[in-house]
């Protein structure tokens, strides 16, 4: 659990004593072995100028030059902005939709497991497949989406070649695939809620909205935090769907940080040092975001009780 | 009895000795293992299917590693930069030959060529594409030029001949555009040095623009270049199917095979797919012609994929020789003719195959004429053969896509790409 419970932690220390660390050790060693070398190597890369396809240029030390370049490069800044827009809208829409669907299911069909199965089907598809299938369905000339629109008497839409619509399409496809993740977590959360507060509220004559606002949400808060953190981290790494559907285009209008780093580092150029710098900045932003978010939610929880 | 038995034994021993001697003579590379990195194409699939013959003939055992189109180059770059050297022979796009040769990742093929390989028989442009600083580095597996393909019935009904000039091309594109049933043209809009830039370069050259001046300063943002880009974008925006700004070659092909597009300019090897009645609604109804002429001339594009010896993988002299042996076998005249006649593959790289009576009987007509003429007049530097090409071409591709999608005006977009190109060329020392 991300939000530590004081008492629970105390119990664990009592029972396990010294072996607490010993039992964590193997996992820590493996984690360190697979995360530290690449991490330190990317720091090394980011302060040098290494070009993969131009070994004859050597590997000069350039200090923070790559980071300075980043803040002057409109394409790089644009990719950070795009990632922000994508992650923000994807997670927000998925959360609201997911909460509504979870509430609906919990209230009206609490026993309908088939419904849950149905909802999580999109989640089981590999993202590359999702990207490809939607790309074909959104094709203005031969795709089924525009065919249906025209059938209904509406105009054809240039889904992936218009800068705004391309962004909307990607967000829509991600929402289509990952809303179910929020639904699943929240449903599991609903089922762990104690009954007593709800009965008490009913006796006190609280309205449905009040119950939701003052009992359901606070009790569900730890689950909500986990769901959001997971989705945000996952959404920050959005690559496959964008790469397959638009390649970051048209132009650079859907180019995310990951796609930009990939292009500049290995695909269109060999500027691996610059790509490492971009990735490090992205890592820094992610850590800061998640830390702020967790602090905020801890505070929130304290205020609630 | 005894004598016959003895004689028999002696004869057997002699026979065994002689035959192993003969085998040793014919299989000089016995025991050598070659790893070949390639991508799956009808061409390479055919070569792979014949590998048994090569192994039997030479004693070399060949291990093929197949990657998808976009991963192949990355794998090869990673293999070379890490020094892993997992591949002895690599399949490589012609535009990356200078990059790989300059980095020292591939070994010249020229010193290993045998007379029976008949290197002169390979189309001149293909040899140029696979060379760096005058030395041949690769044997061509596949080559193509770009040409005009059009729906014959539409032109016949309208009483028109295929467009000869850029003006006619635009005029006819306008004439045929009747959305949503028919669009005048479809061409690549998707970013990439091998995507939109592959076709856009024709406009650049045709309208009198060029990539660099004598001192390697990028000049594709000249007034000619801007006009060319505006013309290209105008055609696609007004006479192209919706979404054309992000069309890759496969989208162009798909759109054309649905019969909803009157004319396309793309690779000569589209022939196989667009003439296949099971996959194409325009099969049998396609006319072929050399690309239309602009104010500065006709400029069909070109591309070639070849096999090259990896300098990182094939380190010993023996390995290099074996790798060269494989390349010469895989890209020999016989192989090419077999590919065409047995598997209907038309990405021909050798003049003698074009002139083969059997080949002509099978694929003759306007496709053959137009393809041969395009091969003859195409400029090897259509996309500049420099080691910085990938970086410059891809950046340019983004900006051209920006123009087609209506995000930026042509001048601003090209200026940005030119500034980036200048930066790259300064870094490598081409611009002093």
pLDDT tens per residue across span A206-260? 888 888 888 888 888 889 988 999 999 889 888 999 999 988 989 899 999 999 9
Residues of B in contact with A150 (CB under 8 A): 180
Q: Which residue of chain A is at minimal alpha-carbon distance from B256?
A: A141
- Report the CATH number at residue A100: 1.10.3720.10
Residues of B in contact with A170 (CB under 8 A): none
User: Does a structural domain hold residue A53?
Assistant: no
> Closest Cα of chain A to B226: distance in Å?
17
3-state DSSP percent of chain A in helix, strand and coil, to 5:
75, 0, 25
A112 and A21 part of one domain:
no
A20 and A131 part of one domain:
no
User: Does a structural domain hold residue A175?
Assistant: yes
Cβ separation of A253 and B260 shorter than 8 Å?
no
305 residues of chain A, pLDDT tens digit each = 344 444 444 444 455 567 888 888 999 999 999 999 999 999 999 999 999 999 999 999 999 999 999 999 999 999 999 999 999 999 999 999 999 999 999 888 888 888 888 888 999 999 999 999 999 899 888 889 988 988 888 877 888 889 999 999 999 999 999 999 999 999 999 888 888 888 888 888 888 888 888 888 888 888 998 899 999 988 988 899 999 998 898 989 999 999 999 999 988 888 999 999 999 999 999 999 889 988 888 887 776 65
- pLDDT of amino acid B84: 93
Q: Which of B133, B295, B128, B315 is nearest to B228 (CA)?
A: B295
Selecting from A246, A252, A270 the residue whose C-beta is nearest the C-beta of B398 gives: A252
User: Does a structural domain hold residue A38?
Assistant: no
Domains delineated in chain B: 31-143+303-363 (3.40.190.10), 146-301+384-427 (3.40.190.10)
A99 and A231 part of one domain:
yes
| Interchain CB contact of B407 with A (< 8 Å) | yes
ipTM of the complex: 0.84
Domain of A24 in residue numbering reads as 1-33
User: Does a structural domain hold residue A55?
Assistant: no
Side-chain-side CA neighbours of A187 within 13 Å: the count stands at 26
A127 and A251 part of one domain:
yes
B410, exposed or middle or buried, with CB in 10 Å at 0-12, 13-18, 19+?
buried
User: Does a structural domain hold residue A148?
Assistant: yes
3-state SS, residue B292? coil
Q: What's the sign of the alpha-carbon dihedral A164, A167, A171, A176?
A: positive
A134 and A275 part of one domain:
yes
Which of the residues A151, A250, A253, A264 would you substitute to probe the B interface, choosing the one with the greatest number of B C-beta atoms within 10 Å?
A250
Side-chain-side CA neighbours of B41 within 13 Å: the count stands at 22
A26 and A121 part of one domain:
no
> Closest Cα of chain A to B300: distance in Å?
24
Residues of B in contact with A166 (CB under 8 A): 246
> Closest Cα of chain B to A287: distance in Å?
29
A94 and A6 part of one domain:
no
- What is the count of structural domains for chain A? 2
| Interchain CB contact of A53 with B (< 8 Å) | yes
A202 and A123 part of one domain:
yes
A19 and A161 part of one domain:
no
User: Does a structural domain hold residue A275?
Assistant: yes
A172 and A227 part of one domain:
yes
Cβ separation of B190 and A249 shorter than 8 Å?
yes
A13 and A102 part of one domain:
no
Q: Is the pLDDT of residue B44 over 60?
A: yes
Cβ separation of A268 and B395 shorter than 8 Å?
yes
Rounded-to-integer distance, Cα B247 and Cα B244, Å = 5
Q: Is the pLDDT of residue B263 over 80?
A: yes
Selecting from B244, B387, B405 the residue whose C-beta is nearest the C-beta of A163 gives: B405
A160 and A241 part of one domain:
yes
DSSP A238: -
Cβ separation of B404 and A269 shorter than 8 Å?
no
- Cα-Cα-Cα-Cα dihedral of A67, A72, A74, A80, to 10°? 40
User: Does a structural domain hold residue A281?
Assistant: yes
User: Does a structural domain hold residue A120?
Assistant: yes
């Amino acid at each position: 659990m991300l939000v530590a419970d004081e008492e629970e932690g105390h119990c664990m220390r009592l029972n396990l004593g010294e072996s607490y660390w010993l039992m964590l050790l193997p996992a820590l060693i493996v984690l360190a072995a697979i995360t530290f070398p690449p991490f330190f190597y990317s720091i090394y890369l980011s302060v040098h100028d290494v070009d993969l396809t131009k070994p004859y240029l050597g590997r000069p030390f350039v200090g923070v030059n790559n980071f300075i370049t980043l803040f002057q490069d409109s394409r790089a800044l644009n990719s950070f902005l795009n990632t922000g827009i994508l992650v923000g809208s994807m997670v927000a829409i998925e959360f609201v939709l997911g909460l509504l669907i979870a509430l609906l299911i919990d209230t009206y069909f609490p026993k309908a497991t088939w419904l849950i199965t149905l909802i999580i089907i999109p989640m089981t598809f590999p993202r590359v497949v999702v990207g490809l299938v939607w790309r074909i369905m959104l094709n203005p000339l031969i795709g089924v989406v525009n065919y249906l629109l025209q059938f209904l008497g509406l105009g054809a839409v240039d889904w992936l070649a218009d800068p705004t619509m391309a962004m909307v399409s990607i967000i829509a496809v991600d929402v289509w695939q990952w809303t179910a993740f929020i639904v699943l977590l929240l449903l599991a959360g609903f089922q762990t809620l104690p009954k007593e507060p709800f009965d008490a509220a009913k006796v006190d004559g609280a309205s449905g909205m009040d119950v939701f606002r003052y009992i359901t949400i606070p009790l569900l808060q730890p689950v909500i935090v986990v769901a959001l953190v997971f989705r945000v981290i996952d959404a920050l790494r959005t690559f496959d769907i964008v790469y397959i559907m638009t390649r970051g285009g048209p132009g650079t209008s859907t180019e995310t940080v990951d796609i930009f780093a990939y292009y500049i580092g290995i695909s269109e150029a060999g500027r691996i040092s610059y790509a490492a710098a971009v990735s490090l900045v992205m890592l820094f932003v992610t850590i800061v975001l998640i830390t702020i978010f967790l602090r905020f939610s801890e505070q929130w929880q304290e205020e609630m009780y | 009895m005894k004598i016959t038995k003895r004689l028999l034994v002696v004869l057997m021993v002699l026979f065994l000795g002689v035959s192993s001697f003969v085998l040793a003579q014919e299989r000089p590379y016995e025991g050598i293992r070659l790893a070949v990195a390639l991508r799956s194409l009808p061409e390479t699939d055919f070569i792979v299917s014949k590998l048994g013959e090569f192994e039997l003939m030479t004693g070399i055992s060949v291990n093929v590693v197949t990657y998808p189109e976009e991963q192949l180059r990355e794998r090869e770059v990673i293999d070379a930069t890490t020094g892993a050297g997992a591949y002895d022979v690599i399949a490589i796009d012609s535009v990356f030959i200078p990059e790989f040769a300059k980095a020292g990742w591939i070994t010249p093929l020229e010193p290993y060529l045998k007379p029976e390989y008949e290197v002169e028989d390979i189309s001149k442009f293909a040899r140029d594409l696979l060379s760096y600083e005058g030395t041949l580095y690769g044997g061509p597996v596949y080559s193509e030029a770009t040409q005009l393909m059009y729906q014959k019935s539409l032109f016949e009904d309208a009483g028109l001949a295929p467009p000869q000039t850029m003006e006619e091309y635009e005029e006819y594109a306008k004439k045929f555009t009747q959305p949503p049933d028919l669009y005048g043209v479809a061409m690549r809009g998707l970013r990439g040095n091998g995507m939109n830039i592959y076709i856009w370069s024709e406009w650049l050259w045709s309208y009198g623009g060029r990539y660099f001046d004598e001192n390697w300063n990028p000049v594709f943002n000249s007034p000619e270049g801007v006009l060319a880009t505006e013309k290209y974008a105008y055609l696609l925006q007004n006479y192209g199917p919706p979404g054309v700004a992000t069309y890759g070659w496969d989208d162009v092909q798909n759109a054309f095979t649905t019969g909803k597009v009157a004319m396309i300019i793309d690779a000569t090897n589209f022939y196989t797919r667009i003439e296949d009645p099971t996959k194409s609604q325009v099969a049998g109804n396609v006319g072929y012609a050399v690309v239309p002429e602009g104010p500065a001339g006709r400029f069909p594009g070109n591309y070639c994929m070849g096999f090259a010896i990896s300098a990182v993988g094939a380190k010993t002299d023996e390995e290099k020789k074996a790798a060269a042996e494989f390349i010469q076998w895989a890209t020999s005249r016989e192989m090419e003719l077999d590919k065409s006649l047995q598997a209907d593959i038309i990405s021909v790289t050798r003049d003698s195959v074009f002139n083969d009576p059997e080949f002509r009987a099978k694929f003759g007509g306007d496709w053959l004429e137009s393809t041969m003429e395009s091969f003859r007049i195409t400029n090897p530097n259509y996309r500049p053969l420099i080691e910085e090409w990938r970086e410059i071409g891809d950046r340019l591709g983004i900006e051209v896509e920006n123009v087609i999608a209506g995000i930026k005006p042509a001048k601003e977009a090209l200026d940005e790409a030119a500034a980036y190109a200048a930066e790259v060329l300064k870094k490598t020392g081409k611009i002093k």
